[in-house]
Chains A and B, each alone.
Chain A
């Protein structure tokens, strides 16, 4: 084998990928089956390096299905031999099938990652350009993997915790295996209890009411405002189109004390009406900003033609502008819905009566030592699922809406 920078990089890559996949497969094994596993990271990394060298030895045209399969097999066997028959530090008679499956998964993932990164490279030296391409491929792959784990882990724990019982969680916090043997009723017990004993149906209803009304009110206010700023000439137009975002930067925490004081005295505080007044006020500026940007992009000639044909301004807006602006309306609605659904501060400060709780407020009320933690997580799942489903359904609109005019936190 020729030595050179590609060879050395391949060794390093093999060490990294072999080790990382071993950590991840063992984690996966623990989370799915509940077995207590101590991975042999060092040996896995060494075998990974060997596999990388093996790939380099094979000529590029040889790295077909057959070549890769044989390297995968050899790597798996090598790990078994080098660890003295205990790749996961478990005795062989314990969950043998699971161990074999995990090992094969590790081997396939490691070899596949290495093969993808080393595609088109042979042992020896390469120019700086090719070396960088190799390094970047590697970093992108690693980044993709780590990002996915980093993003998904809290959500995974959230869902799985909600399906467990307190005792089993305390006994082994890594065991997220799902016990289907006791039937669906036990599995979803937390959810059933939330809806029967913790009034979550009311909370869900309240959240839906508040969010939908907020969306409607926001559109009712923002559409005419945005149209005026985008199309009509009046003194202060430029000032308005720029300063509207400034209002958007007023922090909610600064408003909460005076609004609390005023709403307390008006008797608006402990009611959904109070929220329905506050939420649109915080979303109108950004909705107006997003919509006016879109309105500006629509051809003015169409509206002028409408005016010439004798339509009034309101009719023009109704019959010409709004139908053309439907995508923008959709993205603004989604964005406002998301803000209203997820809002925490005002709901937390204003609402005392559980009949008025929104989901955000309801989940916080579960955060006490008397309520088991799987209920808290089940509540979180109930609060998350609707907004995520809507988001995935309309992702295209939301993404374009988010990038069109807002950087809200």
Chain B
């Protein structure tokens, strides 16, 4: 007889399970409602023709008037209801409104669509197209009582009941957003710029981080201060450092960096670092176009995020045991050989993890480019495009469609990352 471990779940294990689920429930609900559901909602919106203005739902608006304004008793006048659909696009259906007439106002005849119940007027307007207006005119007579009473028709507001289709919750879908996004001329250049920015920004931050870590791996006077200073770009708010760069690189008369270059005799005129798409060089008769604004934005990315890779690489370097280097010294390995054959292989793990994570995060980045150039001068990436489509052009649907593209690209990266990530790093 073999003895098996029990297959059933004991009471204690059940209680532990239950406790675990209870402890995770708040987090789960929070993440579900603010991350996962909006993510799905984004897919939903990307298949809809929604504009920014559609977020206010359609409703009927009323304007109630007596024409002409009664001056004498028993004068024949007209009671007019002017009904308007507040939305330009969405239709209203089964619109019925009720209104209470003031004392002393008698209706001479009631239109077919309306009925009068003592002093309550009920009108069934039926359907209203988007942006439609409708006038209902009812002949009436105002008695002396009305004139004396001082209660006017507007004292009671019409109360309406209606059906409307909220464009966000309706079940009509369209592919027009995706068609529009993919057929736009600039889409492919936006995609290309995104990848340039991501690849070079990530590499720049990694290489700078590796250098900074090498420099600060030796102990010297003032090292803790410099380590703190090197983390500043990452810790400071993005708005502050982005605007500092914008002012520093300004091409106008107040630009500090351009003034420095001029003073040192490097350049003659100011260079518009953030506003110029291409800088043309003439070398040996070849003219060469250099993407200026994109390069500046990449430099900013490297500047702002090198502290992060610097920290991780430094931490890893300090955990490499000194014995190896001592053995290498004994064997006569030079410093460069030690770096190439000992340090670099040890750092490869953290470097690849950093590369993949930073790659994903750089691809996600919106704030930096938005604040530096607003996506102008050939720096528009996919994330900036989401904003431009949704909020600058006010086409929420198209923005959501670009966001779907962003998400799909990212998902592929993330899967790649999880496939290659070592178990112990991270």
Contact = CB atoms under 8 A, between A and B. Distances in A.
Contacts of A288: 27
A155 B232 contact: yes
Given A147-B215, A240-B24, A255-B34, A344 B239 contact: yes
The residue in B26, B30, B45, B305 that gathers the most chain A C-beta atoms within 10 A of its C-beta is B30
A388 B230 contact: no
Interface string B367-400: 1000100000000000100110011000010011
Interface string B23-45: 11011001101111111011011
A155 B33 CA distance: 39
Interface in B321-369: 332, 334-336, 353-354, 357-358, 360-367
Interface string B80-120: 00000000000000000000000000000000000000000
Interface stretch (A76-84, A94-102, A188-196, A379-387): A379-387
A395 interface: yes
Contacts of A148: 226, 229
Contacts of B332: 129
Contact of B42 (A221, A255, A313, A360): A255
B184 interface: no
A58 interface: no
A182 B100 CA distance: 71
Contacts of A251: 363-364, 366, 383, 406-407, 410
A387 B235 contact: yes
A229 interface: yes
Interface stretch (A46-54, A64-72, A277-285): A277-285
Contacts of A198: none
A277 B34 CA distance: 8
Interface in A386-404: 387-388, 391-392, 395, 398-399, 402-403
Interface stretch (A6-14, A31-39, A319-327): A31-39
A344 B238 contact: yes
B38 A388 contact: no
A284 B37 CA distance: 16
B179 interface: no
Contacts of B353: 407
Contacts of B364: 249, 251-253, 409
B228 to A, nearest CB: 6
Q: Which of A151, A158, A288 has the most CB of B within 10 A?
A: A151
B303 A150 contact: yes
A305 interface: no
B259 to A, nearest CB: 4
Interface string A231-251: 011110100101001110111
Contacts of A398: 235
A260 to B, nearest CB: 8
Contact of B232 (A151, A338, A349): A151
Given A257-B396, A281-B34, A136 B26 contact: no
B267 to A, nearest CB: 14
21 contacts: A36-B263, A133-B335, A140-B215, A148-B229, A221-B27, A228-B19, A232-B19, A247-B31, A247-B36, A249-B410, A253-B403, A254-B407, A258-B39, A258-B400, A281-B34, A345-B366, A380-B243, A388-B232, A392-B228, A405-B426, A407-B357
Interface of A: 23, 27, 30, 36-39, 41, 128-129, 132-133, 136, 140, 143-144, 147-148, 150-155, 157-158, 161, 169-170, 172-174, 220-222, 224-225, 227-229, 232-235, 237, 240, 242, 245-247, 249-259, 261-262, 264-265, 277-278, 280-282, 284-285, 288, 313, 338, 341-342, 344-345, 349, 359-360, 363-364, 367, 373, 376-377, 380-381, 383-384, 387-388, 391-392, 395, 398-399, 402-403, 405, 407-409
